[in-house]
Structure 1
Amino acid sequence: MISGKYSVASKNMRSEITLTSIVSTSAVRRRLPIVGAFCMLSLGLHNLHSSSSLSFNPLPRLSFGSKTQGFRSSGIRMEASNQKTVPSIVVYVTVPNKESGKKLAASIVKEKLAACVNRVPGIESVYLWQGEVQTDSEELLIIKTRESLLNALTEHVKANHEYDVPEVIALPIMGGSIPYLEWLKNSTRD
């Protein structure tokens, strides 16, 4: 349970609100880790130093090379001396429902195109399609894999997806738990 006190100032009154009272419903508590993970992946916290200064660049510079080169970032890189890991990515794919999410996730892992696929139910997507604003309930797949497998994963998704234009968006993994990243490498094909 998250707890803590925060002061809130209004026009003529100052009061304290506990975070516990704000985060009181179980639905909100269940989604906080997902929201936090999404924010960390999307915003790209990097350049953390042990000193008291904290550098934060909300938009890390990414440069995309050719299809075979992948992408590079100017931020933190995984230890170059660690030969037990490989450049890794997180890929987002949305699917229309639970059944197609289960089926696609299982096929991706079975083909060793990813080490792990998280299925996040209950998202709502708002997007422009054929000149009209659309709103659909979907499920989000969060796929952890090697950077070198992005093209094969993209082709697999396109071949096994119900949508004409399936979402396949890749974000770099800038670092993390070395044992987890070793497991990711060992659980995917070369």
Structure 2
Amino acid sequence: MATSLCCRAFVSSAPSQLVGAFSSLSFSSYLTTGCAHSLPFVRLLRSDFCTRKPDKTVRAGNMEANSNTVPSIVVYVTVPNREAGRKLAGSIVKEKLAACVNILPGVESVYEWEGKINTDPEELLIIKTRQSLLPALTEHVKANHEYDVPEVIALPIIGGSPQYLEWLKNSTRD
């Protein structure tokens, strides 16, 4: 199997398994440019959406507004199969580098590596953790992943359930 590139587009064979709005996104601009900045949701993250005052529902979960939470992120990591995903997810949670790791099956990655277009079945790890743990998590993934260049992509959590975000804080190391 070809080694993985850090920026990989994924297309699910079962789109209903993808998280939220990502299931309907088109990755054609990414595939054309090869740049994560061309992904549709990146424009959303940089838009007014992130700078507007949140409504009351989001404000209740805003991490700056709640002293019981910390700035948190969701991290995507692809793995070649279920066994590798379970092993990596278990070690991440055991080391308290994340509160929770979801393993999403049925991901098909299309990417260019060493001048060749590859298509591989993979599983997607969706990792919820503190923003401050990203460097340690990245090093852990690199040290325990079979790919030469594993995907580690972090997205900010801008709000959510205060109880869940507090649990995330309490389930991870400082």
TM-score clears 0.5: yes
Conserved? CA contact 2:63–2:158, under 8 Å: no
Contact 1:125 1:136 survives alignment (8 Å): yes
Aligned-pair distance for 1:59?
Answer: 1.8
Determine if the alignment matches structure 1 residue 126 to structure 2 residue 103: no
Which residue in 2 is equivalent to 1:156? 140
Q: Distance in 2 between matches of 1:126 and 1:43?
A: 17
Is 1:34 the counterpart of 2:11? The answer is no
TM-superposed CA distance for 1:32, in Å, is 2.7
Q: In 2, distance between residues paired with 1:117 and 1:43?
A: 25
Residue in structure 1 matched with residue 89 of structure 2 by the alignment: 105
Query: Moved runs in structure 1, 4+ residues, more than 6 A?
Result: none
Q: Note the alpha carbon deviations across 1:138-171, whole angstroms, 9 max, x for none.
A: 0000000000000000000000000000000000
1:3 maps to what in 2? none
Structure-2-length-normalised TM-score = 0.72
The alpha-carbon distance between structure 1 residues 118 and 60, as it changes in their structure 2 partners (threshold 3 A), is same
Q: 1:33 to 1:100 in 2, by over 3 A?
A: closer
The answer as to whether partners of 1:60 and 1:74 remain within 8 angstroms in 2 is no
Q: Which stretches in structure 2 are left out of the alignment for 5+ residues?
A: 1-12, 25-38
Quick one: which of 92, 110, 125 aligns to 1:141? Answer: 125
| Larger RCO, structure (CA 8 Å, separation 6 or more) | 2
Q: Is the aligned partner of 1:90 residue 2:67? A: no
Q: Tell me the TM-score normalized by structure 1.
A: 0.66
Q: CA deviation at 1:110?
A: 0.1
Q: Which residue of 1 aligns with 2:46?
A: 61
- Give the SS at the match of 1:136: strand
> 1:33 and 1:175, CA in 2 relative to 1: closer, same or farther beyond 3 A?
farther
Taking structure 1 as reference, are residues 112 and 79 closer, same or farther at Cα in structure 2, changes over 3 Å only?
Answer: closer
In the aligned structure 2, how far is the partner of 1:99 from the partner of 1:81?
39
Task: State, as a whole percentage, how many aligned pairs show the same letter.
Answer: 69
The residue identity in structure 1 corresponding to 2:160 is G
Task: Determine the C-alpha separation between the residues in 2 that align with 1:112 and 1:184.
Answer: 10
Alpha-carbon distance in structure 2 between the residues aligned to 1:39 and 1:87: 25
Deviation at 1:43, TM superposition (A): 6.6
When structure 1 is superposed on structure 2, of 174-183 and 73-82 the one drifting more is 73-82
Amino acid at match of 1:89: I
Q: Give the direction of change, closer, same or farther, for the CA distance of 1:37–1:187 in structure 2 (3 Å limit).
A: farther
What's 2:65 paired with? 81
Q: Which amino acid aligns with 1:167?
A: E
